[in-house]
Structure 1
């Protein structure tokens, strides 16, 4: 393994985004055969088990990873690495204990959750995934520590390995169970049990990175002592004799909890929304659907809509993780210009990159859903959820900016307001609009939290995202969406006599090219992207983007 180095904001984001993208597509890859392997009840059991597991996992970690990332970053910035190590050990201890307690609790209480959801068949799948909680809280603490050291490759690598193992072994176990004739209920449980193997694999990877970093830190201290001795400077204590930090665990946990509870509320928001919708779907929509219709809609929602709509926010998730230690370090040193620059850059990046993916999944949802899954049923919910993710992206990113600035309580307060509105509007809309009522309520939540966050951030540092470029940017978005929708409708009409999958493939491919191409060309032609923006791009993209910018600038000059 090569030497571990600190990652810049852009590089760290790209590492986490690449890992999240691979993980998301592997998760989607797992759901595609599920649509063919399992019936509606099996799909509902798999979706519900994963959603309740994610909520319990976040409770088990209690927001500690983000808090550890922030605290470790601050300690290293202030030259107190011994305290950072003590914080890390406290996090590991908490993760081990919380994971054990909640793994047992989830296993025991699985039938209660199944009764609330009015789907008694999901208890087995919930119990099958419970043992994964023995590993993932500890893994989360380790990833938080590495993020605090601004070394994103450890968490990214472990996430990819985890997903490969989880998906492959889970599908294999599910196939074996179906071949044995045990039915959907046991097959869904077998597939969710793949998460346990994924946890073991991820834990092994993180241990390997941890040993590497420990040796590297020890070597750095020895090098420093040798140089100090040569320069007649006092040397640091040898690693074996370094005194332990006097920072008490009670003090550490008090500091962590003051940050982690707000982090827990904000990070659990999306999973809470998905779990709320799945848990109360049958109850809230019983006036709108028959029981058979509701079962079909719920299966499509959990397997198709949640999976596909989870793709656009991938970069925002990566940015949310990588921006916290960067802003925290700058804010702790009172470098407000750097806080302003990094915060503005992050918001600009999510506008440029997250929106086109959401647009594509919105305007071409019918073809994409029909191509990937057994049928295009549920494509309307896919389109609605994908459109809503535009506001979800801004909510998540602005939450992380506030967290890095030490305003985690404000972020928590705004998120709670949004979640309360989500529940209220779901109860109001779902009986009359069905699944679209639930999605509309989620959109209200995302929008309100985003507005509240941005108002508080601008009081601290004035964000400069696009300035006068907002109108041309929105024009580029609207024209790209309109062209993509027209391309999909046109191709579906032209290929009406083709095999379904071939027709969906042609329409989805053309829509992707049209949306991506027109969006990129208009951003450059309307000068939404400037040379200053390009300078913040990864090095590999700067050259091509600068060439394209010069082409459009020369064209505008000659015109």
Structure 2
């Protein structure tokens, strides 16, 4: 690797520095994504955005199975020093899973379109399907570098893939704007293009390192496979709950809304494509804390320093809360101004609905951020199953409440927003409840002077200072 690239991509960071880097990358990526929705909504309209969002739940499910657990799982293995070279096995294992995911998405395109009652979904799914494979490879590289306390490659590739998606998506949407189905499908094909380019760059970066330049990229080892699956499978089961609930919600919500109004697809597009996009922007900022906490907490937990590990987890949650609350307040207060400036193509009625949805769900900026960070902390502490249970419970609750509340004419699509509020609050509360009692019980076993030292600040110095 050239020296200038090694200096940029090859240095380790402390927890705070790593969190800032990955948060900056995530925030810039989400900011580009939010800005992308402005011209995209103007080109595709409410119905086009509805079709766009109806494709994503299946994509996210397959993406979750093939890629979601990799960064945190590989990071935990590498940071704990238990599996040197695990990333090569991960390339082989998840490359195969990603390829299967791409084929599955292509084959499921027609059944999904039939279930949702939207024929345009079929072509969209087929053009998006190759992205599943590319993201799987990209995720292995991200996990490899995160495990080495280096968040720069993750942040850099996130921004690059988003920038490529924005530029290619707008160009293709404008090219096919006279045909709504082709316009939506082409914007989703832009996602495939962006993931292809980003994964090629990431793999080239990994291969460019001196120690890995001559080694085979794919090497399947039964021992390494078992180690990887031990950490990634629980994370995957946790992460898959959300897209599964979104898929069920897209089917349930759209079909129930059709009983109330002929504009069901447009209403779902405003809820899922516009409102949730605004809510997820602050969540992306706190993602850096979740990602950076795993390689810092894992070695402490693995070496038996439970007091320090739990104290660092609680500190990370408090920082998350401090970041998320102001964002949530800003979303609630400035919802009318934001909607007016960003989504000018919406009708007056659609704009009023979007303002209402954003204000209802503003609290989700806090609860989703806490769920994200708490799940990462539980994984780092070696308790991923607890995060899995809470996530599944909350997502099942979300689908059930959506089916009940959306039937009320006074609520309509706002019922889905209320259901999301309740479910994410339950998930956040349960995750935090799992962390706090465990932390207390473990610290109670430590002698008083040690507890006082850890709580007094010594753990902070050890945990946050970069290890050379």
Normalising TM by the smaller chain, what interval? 0.7 to 0.9
Q: Show the counterpart of 1:452.
A: 430
Q: Show the counterpart of 1:258.
A: 230
Q: Show the counterpart of 2:287.
A: 317
Whether the 8 Å contact between 2:89 and 2:220 is mirrored in structure 1 is no
Q: Show the counterpart of 2:51.
A: 45
Q: Distance in 1 between matches of 2:230 and 2:370?
A: 24
Q: Show the counterpart of 2:101.
A: 102
Point out where structure 1 has 5 or more consecutive residues left out of the alignment: 219-238, 464-530, 540-559
Q: Show the counterpart of 2:167.
A: 168
Q: Does 1:124 align with 2:123?
A: yes
1:548-559 matches, within 5 Å, as none
Report deviation, 1:535.
Answer: 10
Task: Provide, for residues 121-167 of structure 1, a one-character-per-residue CA deviation record: whole Å limited to 9, x for no partner.
Answer: 22211111112123111101111111111111011111111111111
Q: Does 1:396 align with 2:372?
A: yes
Q: Distance in 2 between matches of 1:114 and 1:176?
A: 24
Q: Does 1:407 align with 2:406?
A: no
Q: Show the counterpart of 2:402.
A: 426
Whether the 8 Å contact between 1:13 and 1:322 is mirrored in structure 2 is yes
Q: Does 1:437 align with 2:412?
A: no
Point out where structure 2 has 5 or more consecutive residues left out of the alignment: 442-456
CA RMSD of superposed structures (Å): 2.7
Report deviation, 1:36.
Answer: 1.0
Q: Distance in 1 between matches of 2:29 and 2:40?
A: 17
Count matched residues.
Answer: 432
Whether the 8 Å contact between 1:402 and 1:411 is mirrored in structure 2 is yes
Q: Does 1:84 align with 2:54?
A: no
Q: Does 1:17 align with 2:13?
A: no
Q: Distance in 2 between matches of 1:307 and 1:371?
A: 15
Q: Distance in 2 between matches of 1:315 and 1:25?
A: 10
**What's the secondary structure of 1:136's corresponding residue?**
helix
Task: Provide, for residues 524-549 of structure 1, a one-character-per-residue CA deviation record: whole Å limited to 9, x for no partner.
Answer: xxxxxxx99x999x99xxxxxxxxxx
Q: Does 1:202 align with 2:172?
A: no
Q: Show the counterpart of 2:132.
A: 133
Report deviation, 1:198.
Answer: 0.7
Report deviation, 1:92.
Answer: 0.4
Change (3 A) 1:280 1:29: same
**What's the secondary structure of 1:268's corresponding residue?**
helix
Whether the 8 Å contact between 1:46 and 1:188 is mirrored in structure 2 is yes
Whether the 8 Å contact between 1:117 and 1:282 is mirrored in structure 2 is yes
Which protein shows a greater Rg? 1
TM-score for both structures, normalised by structure 2: 0.86
TM-score for both structures, normalised by structure 1: 0.72
Report deviation, 1:105.
Answer: 1.6
Q: Show the counterpart of 1:302.
A: 272
Q: Distance in 2 between matches of 1:388 and 1:160?
A: 24
**What's the secondary structure of 1:447's corresponding residue?**
helix
Q: Does 1:55 align with 2:61?
A: yes
Select which of 356, 360, 363 maps to 2:333. 363
Whether the 8 Å contact between 1:304 and 1:369 is mirrored in structure 2 is no
Q: Show the counterpart of 1:291.
A: 262
Q: Show the counterpart of 1:333.
A: 303
Q: Distance in 1 between matches of 2:362 and 2:122?
A: 30
Q: Distance in 2 between matches of 1:435 and 1:250?
A: 48
Q: Distance in 1 between matches of 2:308 and 2:116?
A: 48
Change (3 A) 1:314 1:59: same
Change (3 A) 1:275 1:364: farther
Whether the 8 Å contact between 2:249 and 2:399 is mirrored in structure 1 is no
Q: Show the counterpart of 2:239.
A: 267
Report deviation, 1:337.
Answer: 3.5
**What's the secondary structure of 1:434's corresponding residue?**
coil
Report deviation, 1:38.
Answer: 1.3
Whether the 8 Å contact between 1:282 and 1:291 is mirrored in structure 2 is no
Report deviation, 1:55.
Answer: 2.1
Report deviation, 1:249.
Answer: 2.3
